[in-house]
Structure 1
Amino acid sequence: MQLFARDVPELPFPDVADILQVLWCPLDHEPYFQPHTTVRWRRAEAVGSLLVEAPAPDPDSDESYLPMACVLSPERVEEYPAGWELPAELRNQIWAYEDEFPNSDGWRYFSHLSSAPGSKVGGWVRWIQDPEQVECSEGHEMAHLLTIASREFDIESGKRWAPIEERSLLAPHAPLEIQEPTDLMIQDAGSLYLFVCLRCPERPVDSLSQGS
């Protein structure tokens, strides 16, 4: 992945960089049994000429970590913290409200109205398991940088987050390629989360993954 500051100015670029590059080794690495990631903050003029063809992956690569070629159509969305990150009192109020005044479309905060699922840059983490706090080597709490997901949405969350053009394809037995267009599989339909320290000037990045 390569992101330019001109396209995503919300990213916390260091003063000396305007490109974020994310590379990974397509093999399982402990402790989370996930691809090992390397993040580079660079200047555009230092990148040089682009390759005409991407290098072939190592033949020993795990195929579940090699994405299918596809077209990306990124967009900015409005989202809110995942339900489990809300204060317990507020979370209980939301549950009580939804039980007392059910939405005619069946929408609920946890499934449809909180954090967006799928691969994304910035925003709130869509935790699969319990929320985790990630700290850098200096003990600073790190912020969510990006998520690389096995599944962009499921049948239920797709009511809100699937592209409008694809919502008619959602059904209990919809083909998996609708939900998993890149054919990536991290853990068991899981996600790889990258976090960045906003206090350290060099912007160190760490990662962890969760599976279902």
Structure 2
Amino acid sequence: MDHLHHLHDLFRRFPGIGPRQAKRFVYFLLTATPSYKKELIDEISRLESRVASCPSCHRFYDKKGNNQTCSICSDTNRSQETLMVVAKDVDLDAVEKSRVYEGLYFVLGGSVPLFDQELDSKINSKELLHTIESRAKTGLREIILALSLNAEGEHTRELVESLISPLAKKMGIDIYTLGRGLSTGTELEYSDSETIKNALLSRKRETAL
């Protein structure tokens, strides 16, 4: 495989990027200035050393100084009573943009494919249980499952709810799902702020399993 095809193949591995878009990226880089390409290469090479996964919520964040957790988890003004579970960092970003939620988060790191029942290899399931148990000691009272309303999101929500329900019941924690506002088939990351606000305000309490 020559260099152009290899680079094209690397871009195609990006989520949501098809053959035509990957080809545009390749030809853009071919015509980009040397300074831009150097800046891009430098930033990619620094990802491992400058970006980390928060040990508390598992979102990615810029490491600065001696901070051991992300800015959200270390913010003492955030409510300790609510924990929102999202699939990806981009979902968290969408909720933060709405400015309607002031609690804490947990990022699953993905979703579970349909017909797949294996959680541990697909999402941060063990870490979620540990976080709930730890947060319960500091006042956690409510968990919001904020997952996309598509088939894979619903499947993941059902599995996560089954996983955490026994612990939540034991700890006296209520489980909620997003209410009206999000349309069926909608991915959270593409929802506007008003839609997210309405879905949060009308969240539904789930019956304990």
Q: Same fold (TM over 0.5)?
A: no
Q: Which is bigger in relative contact order (C-alpha 8 A, separation at least 6)?
A: 1
**Structure with the larger helix share:** 2
**Structure with the larger strand share:** 1
Structure number, greater radius of gyration: 2
